[in-house]
Structure 1
Amino acid sequence: MTCPRCSAATVTARTAAPWCPSCEWNLDLFEPDRRRPELGWKWADRATHRVAWRLTTGQFAQLAGGPLRQRGSTAARVVTLTVGVLLLLFVALLAGFGVWLILYDFPQLTIVPGVVLLVLAGALRPRFGSLDDEAHFLDRAEAPELWSLVDRVAAHTGAPVPHLVGLDHSLGAYTTTVGLRRRRVLCLGASLWSALDPQERVALIGHELGHFVNGDLRRGPFEHVALTTLGRLASLTHPNGEGGNGIVDMIISAVQWVLAHLIMSVQLLVVWIGQRDAQRTEYLADEIAARAAGSAAAVRLLDVLLLHDALDTVIRREARAQRSGAAWQEAAVVARANLAPAVPVLRQLSKRDETSLFASHPPTGLRARMLESRPQQAAGVVLTEQQAERIDHEIAGPVERVRRDLASAG
């Protein structure tokens, strides 16, 4: 099949409808059968996909041609911060009014609604995150070489050093802040770590630490409240479907339904506004990764993410065969080599599949293209093969525990 616009041969992958790799004709096609529903109606999901496509491509064009720096008080940050503060005040008012009702002319029947309000305030109280029970956290004595690498990347990028560094079973990585003291956490997926070469590992750490300095509003305590509390409030007000058939029950259920959907609409709006800003911070985190590891390594890291499913399959296969560590690395090298010719097509397909109003990350292919379009950077932090081997030796115990978990999961 040839492109009706430029006559180039079309391409396809993963059962997707064909598109033109040259002019990208038909790449913006909405394919509901290949996507998870977002709003629940195909017509609405198709409409939001079109809007997301324009916003995503527009943001890329804007950032690719200009400086990529952290911004201060963006509209998204102001809106999200305002919503977070208002929600905290609402919860405080609920708790305060509940206490007043309980103590007013005690004892009186007002105790009952007072207790209800206190329970509601407790359910809506702000959560500041907690440590993942499945992650294994490594202290400096247990993994000095890994901590040294984290220190070097933090120093080079100007990011603060995390308080905790952990390892879990995922084919990914994340940073977060937890608790009232807002302790910084870096968690690396053992499966992903094993699939990367030394400089790609530097890029991974550089990207994750970059979220501590790139203005990512998801790391702020008030912004976190805005992004999570509305969802809990919608769940609490949603009718449970167990009411009676009387007219009063029907009216209560109808009011609950309307209230829950109004709250959900506000939540979707806040998330949408926040995710636009979050996607910009992902581009900036990629730039920080390139500063640490070099542009070439940062691009290779993004290409590895495109191969997530294939790498997950081969690593789980090795885990079931009671092999880990070096065996995972060897299997990943073979899989990456076999799939390398498909990477350009998968980059383009990610633009179709990953474009969404509610996506926290830009399409992976656009992230790689962004780095390639900018001035190329040399590695600021170099991880030698010997240093990488010492890190692998330090984390061999936790990786073996991850292998057992993957093997038992099937």
Structure 2
Amino acid sequence: MAAYAIALLVHGVTLVLLAGGLWLLIGGWGGFGMVPGLFLLALAVTLRPRPNRLRAGAHTVSRSTAPELYALVDEVAAALGTRSVDVIVLNAEANASVTHLGVRRRVLALGLPLWEVLSPQERIALLGHEFGHFTHGDTRHGMVVGTAYGSLTTWHYYLSPIEDPDIHGYVINLFYLLPRWLISGVIMLLDLLTTRASQRSEYLADAAAARVGSTEAAVGLMDRLMVVESIDTTLYREVNGRKMRGSARVSAKDAEGLWEALATHLDSVPASEHERRRRVSARRGHSVDAIHPPTHLRRALLLHLPPQEASVRADTDRTHRIAGELTDPRAAVALELVRDGLDG
């Protein structure tokens, strides 16, 4: 509740700037008073809540081109009692996520480096985890608090100190100091208020993964997440190797077999290495990012809960049909990776 109150206050400031800008613009129409009005309006526009949008060039997969994949996603969503997604996007990140586009539309982003190294049942667990976020909610990434983070980040950018300032720059930096500290403090307070809820959301999403994919598959997913650095390293090596042996103009042939090479390498990792990673994770607190709980605790909780059988099972024929549907977008993402590199 406190996080929502702060977020609404942030949006309230934007609304006040908008109203003030309109008032000054109308009151000073035709005169100098229009200048501050236009300034406040421009500031309010940049600080407005911004719903998520698909980036230009995103590799989207439509229902018409991938009916089997959407059928599987719909089945997982139905098993968890939530609405399915409107669009699926493939990318080159060793991750997966769900979010909203605008107010109502939902999007599922599947990172091929992670998707390709999972077993069919582990993929169902991954889908269950992501839809678990829709089922249980996530305050930090919701429409109200999430967009407030965006506004605060914009404020912080505007109040950033001038680098290599002259005497006037020093005065401006000094003037910005207090409001910048205030904005930083609000961001830290929002982090403090939402971190526990976000971590709880992750544990609940893991439970959803076990419910649809089975405890065994959800635990296997955790094991894969513990070696995500190895996924990135292998992908980096494969991409650079293909760029080195290719011509000046990278072609589709240079990207062939990228995902198969990645999966082969991960399958070759011995059980002893996975056990070593689990011990290292327990000592160092490995997590996917700063928001997620430590991976070893997520894994331990799954094993502590009563074992779950899968409510959605991987079908060999469906798995092959889904792979066929993704042939072209898989090749497109691989070619983009080899052409532009991991940061492309």
TM range (shorter): 0.7 to 0.9
1:169-228 Cα shifts (integer Å, max 9, x gaps): 11111101121x331100111221111111001011111111111121134211112222
Q: 2:172 matched to 1:252?
A: yes
The whole-number CA distance in structure 1 between the counterparts of 2:286 and 2:265 is 26
Q: Could you tell me which amino acid in structure 2 is paired with residue 394 of structure 1?
A: E
Among 211, 223, 236, the alignment partner of 1:291 is 211
Structure 2 contact 156–184 (Cα < 8 Å) conserved: yes
Is 1:271 matched up with 2:194? no
Task: Give the aligned residue type for 1:89.
Answer: G
Determine if contact 1:324/1:399 at 8 Å carries over to the other structure.
no
Q: Which residue of 1 aligns with 2:21?
A: 98
For 1:370 and 1:382, how far apart are their aligned partners in 2? Answer: 22
Asked if residue 80 in structure 1 is aligned to residue 11 in structure 2, the reply is no
Q: Deviations over 1:139-159 (max 9, x none)?
A: 122011111111111111112
Identify unmatched segments of 5+ residues in structure 2: 243-253
> What CA distance in whole angstroms lies between the structure 2 residues aligned with 1:339 and 1:228?
43
Query: How far apart, in 2, do the equivalents of 1:236 and 1:318 lie?
Result: 40
Cα separation, partners in 2 of 1:131 and 1:94, compared to 1, 3 Å: same
Contact 1:235 1:260 in 2 (8 A): no
1:382 maps to amino acid: R
Q: Which amino acid aligns with 1:213?
A: T
Residue equivalent to 1:223: 145
Give how far 1:243 is off. 4.9
Does structure 2 retain, via aligned residues, the 8 Å contact 1:81–1:226? no
Note the alpha carbon deviations across 1:280-323, whole angstroms, 9 max, x for none.
Answer: 10010010010000000001011101111222333455555546
Query: In percent, how many aligned pairs have the same letter?
Result: 35
| Correspondence 1:125 to 2:48 | yes
Question: Which residue in 1 is equivalent to 2:332?
Answer: 401
Give the aligned partner of residue 306 of structure 1.
Answer: 226
Amino acid at match of 2:86: H
Q: Kindly indicate which of the two structures has a greater share of residues assigned to helix.
A: 2
- Unpaired segments ≥5 residues, structure 1: 1-77
Matches within 5 A, 1:133-144: 133-144=56-67
The letter of the residue matching 2:17 is L
Q: Cα RMSD (Å) of the superposition?
A: 2.2
User: 1:156·1:292 contact (CA, 8 Å) conserved in 2?
Assistant: yes
User: Which TM-score applies when normalising by structure 2?
Assistant: 0.88
Matched AA of 1:150: V
Note the alpha carbon deviations across 1:241-288, whole angstroms, 9 max, x for none.
Answer: 365415xx5443212022112211211221232122101100100100
Contact 1:135-1:187 within 8 A present in 2 as well = no
Instruction: Tell me the CA shift for residue 113 of structure 1.
Output: 1.6
Matched, 1:154 2:77: yes
Other structure's SS at 1:159 match: coil
Q: Secondary structure at the match of 1:95?
A: helix
Aligned in 2, Cα 1:370/1:132: closer, same or farther, shift over 3 Å?
A: farther
Residue by residue, what CA displacement relative to the aligned partner does 1:315-351 show, whole Å, maximum 9, x if unpaired? Answer: 45555554656x6346424434424312233234335
The residue type paired with residue 196 of structure 1 is L
Contact 1:126 1:225 in 2 (8 A): yes
Structure 2 residue 282 is matched with structure 1 residue 360: no
SS in structure 2 opposite 1:211?
helix
CA distance in 2, matches of 1:105, 1:362: 54
Q: For 2:203 and 2:46, locate their aligned partners in 1 and report how far apart those are by CA, in whole Å.
A: 35
Instruction: Evaluate the alpha carbon distance shift between residue 106 and residue 312 of structure 1 in structure 2; reply closer, same or farther with a 3 A threshold.
Output: closer
Q: 1:324 to 1:308 in 2, by over 3 A?
A: farther
The aligned amino acid for 1:124 is L
Tell me whether 236-245 or 280-289 shows the greater mean CA deviation: 236-245
Count of residues in correspondence between the two structures: 328
Q: Return closer, same or farther for 1:317/1:251 CA change in 2, 3 Å cut-off.
A: closer
